[in-house]
Amino acid sequence: MDVTSSKGALAYRELRRRIISGELAPGSRLSQYELADELQMSITPLREGIRQLASEDWLKMDTYRDVRVASVDAGEARELLEVRLLLEPEATRLAAGRRTGAEVSVMEKAAEQLLPVTRSWGEEAISAHRAFHRSIYVASHNHVLIRMLDGLWDKADRYRYVGLQLPAGNEPRGLDLQQHYDILRLVVEGHGEEAADLVRTHIAHSLGAAVTQTLENLPQAQPLDEVSA
C-alpha cells in the first residue's frame, strides 16, 4: 500500500474491508461524497484510497465520477484456487518442520474457535477459518510465502462471502471442519508431507472450490453480480 496520507490509508483499509465482506457489492457504484461524509473525511483522501484500490483491481475506475466495485469472476476464482493449491500445502509442509511451541499454542487456540463455514454462521466462521489457516502458514517462517498467502486470502475471501449466497453456501461441511483438526495434529507431530497432502485435499473440496465450480456452471447470460446480490 502506498497511499500518502493517514486518512487516505484509512479510506483504503475501510473500503477494502467492505469489498471483501460484501458490504460493497460486486459491480456496485461508489457514492463517493456519501462515503466521504460517512468516514468523516474530505473527498481528496478518499480518492487516494480509491486510486490504490483500483491499482490492485479491487475497484474499476473509468473516471472519478464512475467508480465501481470489481465484479466477481469465475476465471479469477479458478486462478485463486489453483494458486492456493500450489502455495498453501508447501507452507504447511514447512510449518511442520519449523513451528515453535508458541506457534503451536496459537494454532490450538485458533482451532478452538472454528465453526462450520455455512450461511448460518457467516462472517464469524469465515474469520475463524482464515485465522486457523494463517496460524499454520505463518509457522513456515517464509516471509515471502506468508505475504503471498495473505494477499491470496484477501482476494479469495470475497468469493467465500459470495459463496454463502450461492447453493454451495448451504452445504453441511462437517468433513471440512474435521480436516482442520487433522491438519493441526499432523503439523504438531511434524508430519510435513502428510499435512501437505491433506491440505491439498482440503482445498480441493473447500467452500472456495465449490463456489468456483458453481460460478463456472452458471449460464453465461446470467450476471454474477445478480447472483451474489
pLDDT at 228: 40
State percent of the chain over pLDDT 70.
86
Q: Compute the distance between CA of residue 71 and CA of residue 80 in angstroms, rounded to an integer.
A: 15
User: Could you tell me which of 148, 166, 175 has the C-alpha nearest to residue 212?
Assistant: 166
**Rounded mean pLDDT, 63-75:** 85
- The predicted structure's pLDDT at residue 34: 93
d(CA 212, CA 162) in angstroms, rounded, equals 10
For 72-85, what is the mean pLDDT? 94
Provide the pLDDT confidence category of residue 227 given band limits of 50, 70 and 90.
very low
**Taking the alpha carbons of 114, 119, 121, 122 in that order, is the dihedral positive or negative?**
positive
> Is the full-model pTM beyond 0.85?
no
- Give me the mean pLDDT over the 66-70 stretch: 92
Mean pLDDT value across residues 164-173: 59
Mean confidence (pLDDT) of the chain: 87
For 165-190, what is the mean pLDDT? 79
**Contact (Cβ atoms closer than 8 angstroms) between residue 140 and residue 187:** no
- Judged against a pLDDT cut of 90, whether residue 62 lies above it is answered with no
111-115, 174-178, 180-184, 197-201: lowest mean pLDDT where?
A: 174-178
The per-residue pLDDT for 223 is 46
User: What is the residue type of 107?
Assistant: M
Q: What is the pLDDT of residues 128-164, one digit of tens each?
A: 999 999 999 999 999 999 999 999 999 998 888 877 7
pLDDT (0 to 100) of residue 226: 45
* pLDDT value of residue 171: 56
